[in-house]
Structure 1
């Protein structure tokens, strides 16, 4: 029997502040159900939480050491992967490594909140895009009328470079370039073909107005595409945080 938890204490984990703050903003309309207590940039949660939501931006592979270091720590709670990539191979690896959920970043804020509640109650939750799971999850957590318009009209996932017109995938590839990865290494990490990687690179370069890799790296350094190491223990404050 599921034991409801209210509110669910959540830590959001990623390497980029704009990413974790975007997810936090999505969950803000549900303060009585979801309490985001930490935003963790490239470091594990410090406070005990029920669920750690691990956003995979720039760390597409779920067999990464960063994710492995979270699973099994009592104060980290259940680990839920949050990703646009629903490749069954990734889902299988994540669950085999002890993650308790694999959630689609395309789901609504209402559906995400309800999924986190289910994970905190002990369920294993896996999104299946196109199967109407998101809508069922939203309905189970409350009808659109009862949830209010703030949830349906609220912000969605964010990423570095979005304000420059980069898609999430273009930005992900560009952040890996800034970190020094080769095209082949990027393809392996993102489960993309080498030709797809090159296509994303060309379109990203066109949008940011560069033609060479060195120029792209310099642009990325000046536009927040380098990973950070920081723990934000007061997510409601835009200036809060400490270097670990």
Structure 2
């Protein structure tokens, strides 16, 4: 297709931080021939309403929102308008979120360190039917896959746990608190809570004690 014949990609922004929305608008406004921002919203209900009314090509959404989850937004948007694609733009460079995003039907997972030219290039790729993943995160996922192919499993891999979730579970079994786990892994308390939610879901439990019981029953740690 000749550039002159190309229609600008119509994008809806979903984020609960006004400064982020303003920054994205300013960034994308530099590429008017490639991208048009048709609106911005901050929650799931508003996103679904906007998608139904305006039918954007792509929804650019944060993975975590103050009053909900971007993953829920993705599923709701895809259910309301299957032709609309969802790309996550977030600060969370965690494989768990990437896997959840792809399972929810996302067409992309990018980190907020991306610059304007890169973002537009990724959106164009998604519009053409590709799935895009931040290069740094994709590299880590590829390395993990290579290790698995070589049989280098970590405890809990067979139950679907990521390597970091397995590390958190091991520290749970050791009796450490969330704060102690955060200090040991050099991450924030919120990051530990995120890993706990992920491993609880995968182990089909609701609390620390039950998670430890599954770990011991399955012989994950000795």
Would the alpha carbon gap of residues 5 and 71 (structure 1) be closer, same or farther in structure 2, given more than 3 Å must change? farther
Counterparts of residues 173-212 of structure 1 (less than 5 Å): 196-197=188-189
> Structure 2 length normalisation: TM-score?
0.53
2:103 to 73, 96, 103: 96
Deviation readout 1:45-70 (Å, 9 max, x if unpaired): 23111100002354699674333322
Would the alpha carbon gap of residues 108 and 121 (structure 1) be closer, same or farther in structure 2, given more than 3 Å must change? same
Counterparts of residues 29-108 of structure 1 (less than 5 Å): 29-42=30-43, 43-44=46-47, 45=50, 46-56=53-63, 58=65, 64-74=71-81, 77-108=84-115
SS in 1 for 2:130: coil
SS in 2 for 1:98: coil
Deviates more, 1:69-78 or 1:103-112: 69-78
Would the alpha carbon gap of residues 195 and 121 (structure 1) be closer, same or farther in structure 2, given more than 3 Å must change? closer
Would you say the 8 A contact 1:48–1:75 is kept in 2? Answer: no
Structure whose CA Rg is larger: 2
Superposed CA RMSD? 3.3
User: How many angstroms apart in 2 are the aligned matches of 1:194 and 1:59?
Assistant: 24
SS in 2 for 1:71: helix
User: How many angstroms apart in 1 are the aligned matches of 2:84 and 2:24?
Assistant: 18
Question: Can you give the 5+ residue segments of structure 1 that lack an aligned partner in the other structure?
Answer: 133-183, 185-192, 199-244
Would you say the 8 A contact 1:5–1:117 is kept in 2? Answer: no
Q: Which has the higher helix share?
A: 2
Would the alpha carbon gap of residues 89 and 40 (structure 1) be closer, same or farther in structure 2, given more than 3 Å must change? same
Would you say the 8 A contact 1:8–1:35 is kept in 2? Answer: yes
Instruction: Give the aligned partner of residue 122 of structure 2.
Output: 115
Instruction: Give the aligned partner of residue 143 of structure 2.
Output: none
Instruction: Give the aligned partner of residue 18 of structure 1.
Output: 19
Question: Can you give the 5+ residue segments of structure 2 that lack an aligned partner in the other structure?
Answer: 140-177, 179-184, 191-222
Aligned residues: 137
Would the alpha carbon gap of residues 49 and 195 (structure 1) be closer, same or farther in structure 2, given more than 3 Å must change? closer
Would you say the 8 A contact 1:13–1:39 is kept in 2? Answer: yes
User: How many angstroms apart in 1 are the aligned matches of 2:67 and 2:186?
Assistant: 15
> Structure 1 length normalisation: TM-score?
0.48
Larger relative contact order (CA 8 Å, sep ≥ 6) = 1
Would you say the 8 A contact 1:104–1:129 is kept in 2? Answer: no
Would the alpha carbon gap of residues 105 and 96 (structure 1) be closer, same or farther in structure 2, given more than 3 Å must change? same
User: How many angstroms apart in 1 are the aligned matches of 2:87 and 2:77?
Assistant: 10
